[in-house]
Homo-oligomer: A and B are copies of this chain.
Amino acid sequence: MSKGLLLVVSAPSAGGKGTILKELLRTEDSLRMSVSATTRQPRPGEEHGKQYYFISREEFQTQAAQGMMLEYAEYVGNCYGTPRGPVDQWREEGLDVVLEIEVQGGAQVKKLAPDCVTVFITPPSMAVLEQRLRDRGTEDEAAIQNRLETALVELGHAQEYDYIVVNDRLEDAVEDMRAILRSEKRKYERNADFIRKVITHAETIR
């Protein structure tokens, strides 16, 4: 069995990556969502290993120092990160793992897991993004302007990613993600052993 893929997905806020990944996970049996680790306290109803791995600050720092966090950041006094242990284990079992991270984290993961496949999900235009933010109706004008400014900065990171998926029609974006998963498995590097086996076995039976 060949090793599963590590798919890293980023998008500006309100870029719609949540909906796309939910749909993708619903239909792709061999895909798993990575679970983050955090040093913050669990909230009622949250389970260790489900929403997060809840670990101590000391444990977090040790893991990070040993390169066991694929990426991490501190946010309002708590550490958040992606432990590579579960990711590596799933991949060894042949399962694909998707990692949803901030735009700034993509390059970090690429350094520790160079064989990862990175996807940047973008809105079709800033005007559409603005409309979506207004349609949600959950934020005031200042918050919307702030999100748009942030999105613009985040778009500048798109060039660090392997693929660009435009979130226009949901079905198209999901189909793009599926195509990326499928075609990446066909890359030569991931099939070199197979080709060698075909050649070697042929030479053996001759």
Contacts and interface: CB of A to CB of B under 8 A. Distances in A.
Given A152-B203, A179-B186, 19 more contacts: A124-B198, A125-B201, A125-B202, A126-B201, A126-B202, A127-B205, A155-B195, A155-B198, A155-B199, A158-B195, A159-B188, A163-B187, A163-B188, A164-B186, A164-B191, A164-B195, A166-B194, A176-B186, A179-B183
A122 interface: yes
Contacts of A178: 179
Given A180-B186, A182-B183, A188-B159, A194 B164 contact: yes
Given A175-B182, A183-B182, A158 B126 contact: no
A165 interface: yes
A156 interface: yes
Interface of A: 120, 122-127, 148, 152, 155-156, 158-159, 161-166, 175-176, 178-180, 182-184, 186-188, 191-192, 194-195, 198-199, 201-203, 205
21 contacts: A124-B198, A125-B201, A125-B202, A126-B198, A126-B202, A127-B205, A148-B202, A155-B195, A155-B198, A158-B188, A159-B188, A159-B195, A161-B188, A162-B188, A164-B187, A164-B191, A164-B194, A179-B180, A179-B186, A180-B183, A183-B183
A93 to B, nearest CB: 21
Contacts of A163: 183, 186-188
Contacts of A180: 179, 183, 186
Nearest to A157: B195
Count of this chain's copies in the oligomeric assembly:
2
Contacts of A182: 175-176, 179, 183
A175 B185 CA distance: 13
A165 B152 contact: no
Contacts of A188: 120, 158-159, 161-164
A186 B161 CA distance: 11
